[in-house]
Amino acid sequence: MKTKKIKNTKNKEFIIKGLNFKKDFLTIAGPCSIESLDQILKIAKELKSKINILRGGAFKPRTSPYDFQGLGKEGLIYLKKAADQYNLLSVSEILDPRDTKLFSECVDIIQVGARNMYNYPLLKELGKTNKPVLLKRAFSATIYEFLSSAEYIMKEGNTNIILCERGTRGFEKNLNVNSIAELKKKTNLPIIVDPSHASIDSTVIRDITRAVVAMGVNGIMLEVHTNPSESISDKEQAIDVSLFKKILKDIKKIRNLKFEP
C-alpha cells in the first residue's frame, strides 16, 4: 500500500493587531449567528475585556434550507462595527469563494467551517490572501485529510492557519482528544478547540473545556449569547455570560499549572 504523505505542516509566528497567534491564548467567543446590530454590540460589550476574538456567523451553513441562513453581508458589517468599537479581532465563516474580498475587508480571521474543510477551490482562494484562516475539522475527516486541507491553503502562500477541533461523528457526539495529541505531534500550527459544536449541549461545555485546556491547546472557541434561550441558531449549546466567566476562571487556573516537560 502506498503510504500517504503529510508534509510537515508548520508555520511561523503571526501577529495581528498585537495578538500573537502562536504564543497568546486565543479566547474566541460570541453568538452562533449575528442576529442584529444591537445583539452583537451587547455581547461584545459584555465580553470585551475577557476575550481577544469576537465570533459571529453571518453566512450560516444550516442543515435545513428552511432554517435562518444568516444576515449575510449586513451581518459582517455589524460584526466589524462591534469588533472595532470594542477593540477586538473578529472571525466569521465564509461559504463561497466569491466572498473572499468581502471577508478580507470585514473580518480579521476567516473561518472555514467543518462542512467546507474539503472545499478545495475555497481553500485555494483563501491561500492567496494573507488573512489568518481558522480551519475546522470536518465531521468525518482523518488527521491526514485535516492537515492536507491546511496544506492546500499554505501551498498558495498563506501560512497563517489555526486548526480547530470541533468533534467528529462516531456512535455518539465525539471530541477526540487523541487527535489533539496527534496534531500537536504532527504540526506546530496553533490548535484550538470548539467545545460548543463538539457537544451541542451547554451543560457539558465546562467539563470539556477544562480537559482540553489541560492538554495545552492554544485557544478555545465558545458560543456565548446574552440570552441563550432566545438564540436564533444552536440555542442548545449557547452559554450565558455568567457561565462563560466561570469557564474563563477554570482556564486561568489550569493554564497556571506547571507540568514537568
Per CB under 6 A, residues contacting ligand PEP are 32, 57, 61, 93, 113-115, 136, 166, 194, 197
The least distance separating ligand PEP from the CB of residue 176, rounded to whole angstroms, comes to 14
Residue 166 binding: pick among ligand PEP, Mn ion, none (C-beta 5-8 Å cut-off by kind): ligand PEP
Q: State the residue number with the nearest CB to ligand PEP.
A: 113
Whose Cβ is closer to Mn ion: residue 60's or residue 80's? 60
Residue 95 binding: pick among Mn ion, ligand PEP, none (C-beta 5-8 Å cut-off by kind): none
Give the residue from 164, 166, 99 showing the smallest Cα distance to 135. Answer: 164
R_g (Cα) of the chain, nearest Å: 17
Please give the size of the binding site for Mn ion, defined by CB under 5 A: 2
Residues 6+ positions from 14 with CB-CB distance below 8 Å: 20, 21, 22, 132, 159, 160
Binding to Mn ion by CB under 5 A, coded x per residue (else -) over 218-257, reads ----------------x-----------------------
Whose Cβ is closer to Mn ion: residue 63's or residue 256's? 63
The least distance separating Mn ion from the CB of residue 197, rounded to whole angstroms, comes to 6
Residues in the chain: 261
Binding to Mn ion in span 22-61, by CB under 5 A: 32
Determine whether 167 is exposed, middle or buried from the number of CB atoms within 10 Å of its CB (0-12, 13-18, 19+).
buried
Residue 216 binding: pick among Mn ion, ligand PEP, none (C-beta 5-8 Å cut-off by kind): none
In which residue are the cell numbers 440570552 written? 227
Q: How far is it, in rounded angstroms, from Cα 261 to Cα 259?
A: 6
Q: How far is it, in rounded angstroms, from Cα 88 to Cα 71?
A: 21
Whose Cβ is closer to ligand PEP: residue 63's or residue 242's? 63
Angle ∠(186,190,193) on CA atoms, nearest 5: 100
Contact of 10 with 2, CB cutoff 8 Å: no
Residue 125 binding: pick among ligand PEP, Mn ion, none (C-beta 5-8 Å cut-off by kind): none
Interface ranges with Mn ion (CB under 5 A): 32, 234
